Amino acid sequence: MTPLGWGRRYLMCPPTHFGVLYEINPWMHTEVAVDRDRARSQWEGLVSTLRAAGAEVVVVVPDESVPDMVFTANAGVVNLRGEGPPQFVPSHFRFPERQGETEIFAAWFAAQGFAVDRLRPELAHEGAGDALPFLDTLLSGYRFRSDQPAATELSRLTGAPVRSVELVDPRLYHVDITFCPLDDRRAMCAPMGWDAYGRRVVEALVPEPLWLTDEEALTFCANSVVVGSTVVMPVTPPRVGRQLEAWGFDVVDCDVGEFLKAGGGCRCLTLSLDVDLATATGPVT
Ligand code: ARG
């Protein structure tokens, strides 16, 4: 088994302005108050858990106008492109409530020396929340937040083969709530999130899937962060934890309950900065 070649360096955003101030997914209810102090300590807990697992965490300054900016997974798609200048494709958000994040993140990446390559303006795509690398392929989800043709654009811009899966359950509205790459053979997979064709795409892509039951999937357990052999999970259903441990992973629970109120778990709170799609070649599907 070869560990993932990415996931050792993350961009995160402190929850200074985080709250459930609008409802753009079925988990968000504005009448449910977020405890900001608890959110802050949970977020800091995630930072220390990731650092203890051997990851580096860098931080972007939060902006008051965009409370969901804490979910940096949605900033865009990062591609280190081997030795060349690194590339960043900023997200185009489906909902106006998050659209202000695009230029904030684009400016941050430009300042770090990334080439900022844009999707066509009419296409929505919510970044790593809807595009996760598995081997040399990007698995991209579409429907609730991202448009399917954006996957083709991403493939054109990054050079990586992209496989699209249609998301079918509004509770699992981003692909990173349905899919979690673990190493070069394994991934947590929530088939309830995909249509029949999407399930076949994943079956063909992942040699050894850990299939999640519907109940397990709805805990957000696939929204985990994998740092080498450590899996940092927002919730660990017992059967899933046992299987991961049987495969040799260290499973670490990390309570991010305040963020689950906004429909986000551990993965949503991070953006992997060390994804390199340079070695990827192949057809677009
Ligand atoms: N409240 C945020 C939204 O609905 C949560 C984003 C979760 N991010 C993710 N990568 N799944 O946009």
Lookup: tokens for 157:
């811009």
96 Cβ partners below 8 Å, 6+ apart? none
Active site annotation includes 125: no
Supply φ then ψ for residue 28, to 5 degrees.
-85, 125
**Domains, the chain, with CATH or none:** 9-272 (3.75.10.10)
pLDDT per residue as tens digits for the range 170-203: 999 999 999 999 999 999 999 999 999 999 999 9
Choose, from 174, 189, 221, 254, the residue flagged as catalytic: 174
Residues at CB less than 6 angstroms from ligand 1: 24-25, 28, 68, 71, 73-74, 98, 129, 174, 176-177, 262-264, 268
Beta strands 9-12 and 271-272: pairing type?
antiparallel
Q: Do 266 and 232 contact (CB within 8 A), yes or no?
A: yes
pLDDT of residue 279: 62
CB within 8 Å of 10: residues ≥ 6 apart: 50, 55, 56, 57, 58, 72, 225, 270, 271, 272, 273
What is the pLDDT confidence band of residue 112, given thresholds at 50, 70 and 90? very high
- DSSP 8-state code for residue 93: -
pLDDT, mean of residues 256-285: 85
pLDDT value at residue 84: 79
Work out the number of other CB atoms within 10 angstroms of the CB of residue 282. Answer: 12
Q: Is 17 a catalytic residue?
A: no
Question: Tens digits of per-residue pLDDT, 59-76?
Answer: 999 999 999 999 999 999
pLDDT band at 1 (very low <50, low <70, confident <90, very high): confident
To test the pocket of ligand 1, the residue of 23, 25, 69, 140 to mutate (highest count of ligand atoms within 8 Å of its CB) is 25
